[in-house]
């Protein structure tokens, strides 16, 4: 069925959403300004080194936390396992910069941990004892690892559950201990899934701004932020952002290649009966302490401390600004979620109606922004919108009118567009997978009844894919509520979201007053995790 209007519309939207990436590459290829040459000759190599070590350390930490926990949850019988396997996902809801501040508060020289040690042992000053400093690259890696290991845990656990039980039983019959069976059978089979999890961890680490900035660890993300806001050089910021874009593309290609290899591993899915190793004595208590320790350190302890601060500083936090910034976040997130859903429906329906392979390309193009770190995306959005703002003002002058000012970069337009580019992929993915489950025969029946594509979408498809649409819109909404680096760079003057508001308190070392808005962000972040856990329980 030919639908030229729909096809043109979907291509136009896809190109609009890829505009930041193209603008970023264009700006990065322009001749270098003096500032970039100066940065390249002085500090940039150190920033690149810091970024590399940070990503590597976080990946190692996530691997050491995620894989053993996943195997214990998939293969062993433990008391309270049903609660524990869900609790291990909770740290994902906690923004890393909040965790970083909570632990800095606890472990700094003036914090309760070191104060207690000095009191117990009679130490007078820091010269009397050694306590590892937390505000270092290693400390930042630890904080990020605590909140990002669930990516590895989730994918590894799913891979372990899907493995053929007969393979593991055969290895046991051949004399392997559970540990040898894990090392020789389970782990090699789960390797592609673990690689996907690690690539997600690496991309999230690369995109992190709050933790590294708070710990004063200079990475490429902070370099983009400082170059644009500190020096006002869009050209130098775009060049550094383009370097990060290259790293992301490399990570994505590695993840794709590992996923291709995965195909040959999942052929024997004889899930006859789940294996349940019984752990006793020391091994049982060790496994429980290990898993619950991750939950406590990554979620429960920071959350309890936030609640304590929120109660004690309630009167200072519960004010007009809290409501204003909550409203800003809600309106902005709801607007972007609605727009993302409309774009996803248009792209998904165009592909379905035309039935051509090439109409899937706009969906792929429109989803590209999700891989971009917030700072990189922000520079990509600023390049075309700033040029457009200047062009509009020049045109107004030429026509003899008064200059309208910054219509795009000085309003909510820039931040909404940035969020749409970054998180639209979630709505597109949800709508695409839901539409894929609707029988094509329904389309034929509806066409024979004389319905056009618009009516068909409204009366047939939308009621059937309502759950998928809701899930997609909800994910976009939640990610918008939590997003920090893009919000810091793209927000108009005197405009705060809950994330930037909390981060302001974190930067001023006053998280106590920002604890209430921080709790709101965490609770909103828990919603998709509940959905995710439900769907995992239904599958297994």
Where are the domains positioned within the chain? 1-16+313-540, 32-260+274-307
The percentage of residues in the chain with a pLDDT greater than 90, rounded to a whole number, is 21
The encoded tokens of residue 260 equal: 């291709």
Region of 232 please: left (phi>0), alpha (psi -120 to 50) or beta.
left
Q: Is 120 exposed, middle or buried (0-12, 13-18, 19+ CB in 10 A)?
A: exposed
| CB within 8 Å of 525: residues ≥ 6 apart | 92, 93, 94, 95, 478, 481, 482
- Partner residues linked to 278 by β-bridges: 77
> DSSP alpha helices (H): ranges in 30-110?
34-41, 44-75, 81-87, 96-107
Q: Reply yes or no on whether the pLDDT at 283 is more than 50.
A: yes
- The CA distance from 299 to 59, in Å, is 19
pLDDT for res 415: 93
Higher per-residue pLDDT: 204 or 303: 303
Residue 101 has pLDDT above 90, yes or no: no
Q: For 450-493, what is the HEC assignment?
A: CCCHHHHHHHHHHHHCHHHHHHHHHHHHHHHHHCCHHHHHHCCC
State how far the Cα of 330 lies from the Cα of 359, in Å rounded to an integer: 33
User: Which of the 8 DSSP states describes residue 89?
Assistant: T
Whether pLDDT at 267 is above 60: no
Are the beta carbons of 72 and 119 closer than 8 angstroms? Answer: no
CA 311 to chain CA mean position, Å: 29
For residue 169, pLDDT beyond 70: no
Among 202, 218, 233, smallest CA distance to 44 is for: 218
Angle between helix 112-121 and helix 96-107 axes, rounded to 10 deg: 20
Pairing of strands 76-77, 277-278: parallel
Structure tokens at 417: 């567009």
CATH superfamily of the 1-16+313-540 domain:
MetI-like (1.10.3720.10)
pLDDT grade for 336, boundaries at 50, 70 and 90: very high
Kindly tell me the number of DSSP H helices and DSSP E strands found in the chain: 27, 2
User: What does the pLDDT read at residue 261?
Assistant: 58
Q: Mean pLDDT check: name the lowest of 22-36, 133-147, 164-178, 189-203.
A: 164-178
Average pLDDT, the chain: 82
Question: Is pLDDT of 281 > 90?
Answer: no
Q: Give the number of C-alpha atoms closer than 13 A to the C-alpha of residue 533, restricted to the C-beta side.
A: 16
Q: Is the pLDDT of residue 138 over 50?
A: yes
Contacts of 114 (CB under 8 A, 6+ apart): 107, 108, 131
CA distance 526 to 93: 5
CA-angle at 144, arms to 142 and 145, nearest 5°: 60
- What is the distance between the alpha carbons of residues 211 and 214, in angstroms, rounded to a whole number? 5
End-to-end CA distance of the chain: 40
Q: Do domains 1-16+313-540 and 32-260+274-307 have the same CATH topology?
A: yes
Half-sphere exposure of 141 (CA within 13 A, CB side): 19
CA–CA gap between residue 509 and residue 505 (Å, rounded): 6
- In 3D space, the residue among 271, 294, 28 whose CA is nearest the CA of residue 158 turns out to be 271
Q: Average pLDDT for residues 375-397, to the nearest whole number?
A: 88
Q: Given pLDDT bands bounded at 50, 70 and 90, which one contains residue 535?
A: low
**Cα–Cα distance for residue pair 418/383, rounded to 1 Å:** 12
Residue 60 has what pLDDT? 95
Whether the per-residue pLDDT at 258 is higher than 70: the answer is no
The rounded distance, in Å, linking the Cα atoms of 293 and 299 is 10
Q: Which pLDDT does position 259 carry in this prediction?
A: 60
Task: Please compute the mean of the pLDDT values over residues 486-510 and round it to a whole number.
Answer: 88
> For position 443, what pLDDT does the model report?
63
Contact between residue 236 and residue 36 where contact means Cβ atoms under 8 Å apart: yes
How many residues can be counted in the chain? Answer: 540
Confidence at 164, pLDDT banded by 50, 70, 90: low
Q: Worst-scoring range by mean pLDDT, 8-17, 189-198, 527-536? A: 527-536
| CATH class of residue range 32-260+274-307 | mainly alpha
Query: Is 178's pLDDT higher than 80?
Result: no
Whole-model pTM? Answer: 0.83
List phi, psi (to 5°) of 278.
Answer: -90, 125
Q: Give the pLDDT of residue 269.
A: 46
């Amino acid at each position: 069925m030919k639908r030229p209007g729909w096809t043109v519309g979907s291509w136009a939207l896809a190109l609009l959403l890829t505009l930041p990436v193209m603008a970023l590459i264009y700006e990065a290829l322009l001749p270098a300004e003096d500032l970039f040459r100066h940065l390249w000759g002085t500090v940039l190599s150190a920033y690149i080194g810091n970024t590399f070590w940070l990503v590597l350390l976080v990946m190692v930490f996530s691997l050491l936390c995620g894989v053993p926990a996943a195997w214990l949850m998939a293969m062993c019988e433990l008391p309270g396992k049903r609660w524990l396997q869900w609790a291990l996902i909770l740290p994902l809801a906690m923004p890393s910069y909040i965790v970083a501040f909570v632990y800095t508060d606890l472990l700094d020289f003036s914090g309760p941990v070191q104060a207690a040690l000095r009191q117990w042992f009679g130490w007078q000053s820091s010269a009397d004892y050694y306590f590892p400093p937390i505000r270092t690259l290693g400390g930042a890696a630890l904080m990020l690892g605590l909140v990002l290991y669930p990516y590895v845990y989730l994918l590894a656990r799913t891979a372990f559950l899907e493995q053929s039980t007969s393979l593991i039983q055969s290895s046991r019959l051949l004399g392997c201990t559970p540990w040898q069976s894990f090392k020789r059978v389970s782990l090699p089979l789960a390797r592609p899934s673990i690689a996907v999890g690690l690539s997600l961890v690496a991309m999230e680490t690369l995109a992190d701004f709050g933790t590294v900035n708070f710990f004063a660890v200079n990475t490429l993300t902070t370099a983009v932020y400082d170059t644009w806001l500190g020096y006002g050089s869009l050209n130098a910021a775009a060049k550094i952002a383009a370097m990060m874009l290259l790293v992301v593309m490399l990570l994505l290609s590695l993840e794709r290649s590992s996923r291709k290899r995965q195909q040959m591993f999942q052929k024997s899915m004889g899930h006859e009966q789940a294996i349940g190793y019984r752990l006793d004595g020391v091994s049982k208590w060790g496994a429980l302490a290990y898993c619950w320790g991750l939950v406590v350190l990554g979620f429960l302890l920071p959350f309890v401390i936030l609640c304590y601060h929120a109660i004690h500083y309630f009167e200072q936090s519960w004010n007009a600004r809290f409501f204003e910034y909550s409203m800003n976040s809600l309106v902005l997130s709801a607007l972007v979620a609605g727009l993302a859903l409309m774009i996803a429906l248009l792209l998904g329906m165009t592909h379905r109606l035309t039935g051509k392979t090439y109409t899937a390309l706009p969906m792929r193009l429109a989803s590209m922004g999700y891989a971009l770190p917030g700072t990189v995306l922000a520079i990509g959005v600023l390049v075309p919108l700033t040029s457009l703002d200047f062009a509009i003002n020049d045109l107004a002058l030429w026509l003899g009118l008064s200059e309208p000012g910054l219509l795009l970069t000085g309003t909510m337009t820039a931040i909404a567009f940035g969020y749409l580019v970054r998180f639209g992929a979630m709505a597109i993915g949800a709508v695409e997978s839901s539409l894929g489950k609707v029988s094509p025969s329904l389309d034929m029946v509806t066409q024979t009844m004389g319905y056009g594509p618009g009516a068909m979408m409204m009366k047939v498809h939308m009621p059937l894919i309502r759950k998928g649409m809701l899930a997609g819109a909800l994910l976009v909404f939640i990610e918008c509520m939590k997003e920090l680096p893009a919000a810091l760079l793209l927000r108009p003057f005197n405009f705060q979201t809950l994330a930037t508001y909390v981060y302001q308190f974190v930067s001023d070392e006053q998280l106590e007053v920002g604890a209430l808005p921080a709790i709101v962000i965490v609770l909103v972040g828990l919603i998709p995790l509940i959905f995710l856990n439900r769907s995992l329980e239904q599958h297994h």
